[in-house]
Amino acid sequence: MPNPEPRIPNASWRRTLWIVWFAELTSVIGFTVVIPILPLYVRELGVVDPDAATFWSGVVFSAHAVAMAVMAPIWGTLADRYGRKLMVERAMFAGAVLIGMMGFARSVQQLALLRALQGMLTGTVTAAMTLVASTAPRERSGYALGILQMGIYTGAAVGPVVGGVITDTMGFRAAFLTTAGLLFTGGTLVALFVREDFQPVERPSQRGWMALRESLGPALAQRPLLSAFGIRLMMRMAGRLLGPILPYFVEQLAPTALTATLTGVVRMANAAGGAVGALTLGRLADRVGRRRVLLTCALALCGLYILQFLVRDVGQLTALQAVAGLAMGGVLAAISATLAALAPEGHQGAVYGLDATVVSGANAIAPMIGTAISVALGYRAVFLGSAILFLLATAVAGALLPRE
């Protein structure tokens, strides 16, 4: 067995946390500049039929997620073997190149291919969480990962509005190039200023896929971890059903030439709520228990998505998305802290790689389910689908997650 990986001194892990926080903030601003406008970019690339545009929007979202689901455990295993800082740099610099290229796509097929490559080579959130989880003291993991989630949500609050304004004033290409620049900045910050006192885990005796299986074995052998992954899958699917159809729903509520900006405002409200929830509820989870915070927030999300089914204007949607973001921030902070607490020492990369596969699997499935629901039953029915999934996840979490 490998020796336990040393936790770096107090001041050092805090320094790492805040540098990674700022780099991830910058990168997530970049990613969310373009994510909300992708359905509109599909139409810009010549897909004008509404049903076809909805279908291709789902493909563009799912192509990225499927590729990431396949690659995430591999990158996680490599992080445990070669270093977590290196994986953050890989994700950010690769994203800068590929998203910059998307601004020059000539067809929706090219866009889908570039999104698939992005899924294969990026994954900044997982890489950053692995780095922070491996350096922070376990008793402060809820705080540290809550801080990081706050940065992620803050970036996700700023990016959509920036992307909407840039797209409406300067065009799609400018938005993609802005993202490329922001990701390059984040990668440079990590490369220059993060110090990782890394000791690799013992190299597996096998090679190839058998080596991957051997590396993932300690994580897969823990039933509480598998339960947490299952809950993560349902929560993520519930939150992502809306992704490809949100701009179209906003357009239905308020027909305007500024759909990209309005969609950005809705996403900003959700992410701003998430930033507050991740920080405050992440700290609360360290004190009152991760399970309690998770169950309360998940049940609240069920009710909030039922209310969104009834909205009549963009203002109501924005307000409810803000409160839903607050609850989702608590869910993500609680699950992330649970994974950090359950991860075998020296195998944090494998655990967060598996988590990224679960998240990416949800990201792949949810857009297609969401688009299918919207085509068959209308945009509003998607909110009810999310509410049902949140309720199911609450029941499963109550039954399977261990009490602290």
pLDDT digits (tens, 9 = 90+) for 165-212: 899 899 999 999 999 999 999 999 999 999 887 776 565 555 555 555
Amino acid in the structure at residue 380: R
Distance, CA of 301 to CA of 307 (rounded, Å): 10
Q: Whole-prediction pTM value?
A: 0.73
Instruction: Name the token pair of 65.
Output: 């997620």
pLDDT at position 107: 96
89-119 residues labelled b (16+ CB within 10 A) or e (exposed): bbbbbbbbebbbbbbebeebeebbebbbbbb
Q: Are 356 and 76 in contact (CB under 8 A)?
A: yes
Alpha-carbon separation of residue 119 from 28, 81, 89, 330 (angstroms)? 15, 21, 15, 26
Q: For residue 250, is it within any domain?
A: yes
Q: For residue 3, is it within any domain?
A: no
Amino acid in the structure at residue 253: L
pLDDT at position 257: 72
Instruction: Name the token pair of 273.
Output: 């709520």
Handedness of CA 68, 71, 75, 76 (dihedral sign): positive
Residue 396: give its domain's CATH number. Answer: 1.20.1250.20
Q: For residue 334, is it within any domain?
A: yes
Query: How many domains, in total, are found in the chain?
Result: 1
Q: For residue 27, is it within any domain?
A: yes
Query: Cβ–Cβ contacts within 10 Å for residue 174, how many?
Result: 15
Q: For residue 320, is it within any domain?
A: yes
pLDDT at position 2: 45
pLDDT at position 367: 84
Structural domain containing residue 126: 10-195+204-400
Q: Residue 57: CB partners within 8 Å, gap ≥ 6?
A: 38, 39, 42, 244, 245, 367, 371
Q: For residue 1, is it within any domain?
A: no
pLDDT at position 337: 82
> Tokens 């000539």 sit at which residue?
106
> Tokens 């705080």 sit at which residue?
143
pLDDT at position 218: 66
Mark out the alpha helices in 103-140 (DSSP H runs): 108-121, 124-135
Distance, CA of 331 to CA of 336 (rounded, Å): 9
pLDDT at position 77: 81
pLDDT at position 10: 56
> Tokens 């998770």 sit at which residue?
294
Q: For residue 61, is it within any domain?
A: yes
- DSSP classification of residue 4: P
Q: What is the largest CA-CA distance in the chain?
A: 61
Q: For residue 234, is it within any domain?
A: yes
pLDDT lower than 70: segments of the chain: 1-11, 200-221, 345-347
Q: Residue 2: CB partners within 8 Å, gap ≥ 6?
A: 201, 202, 346
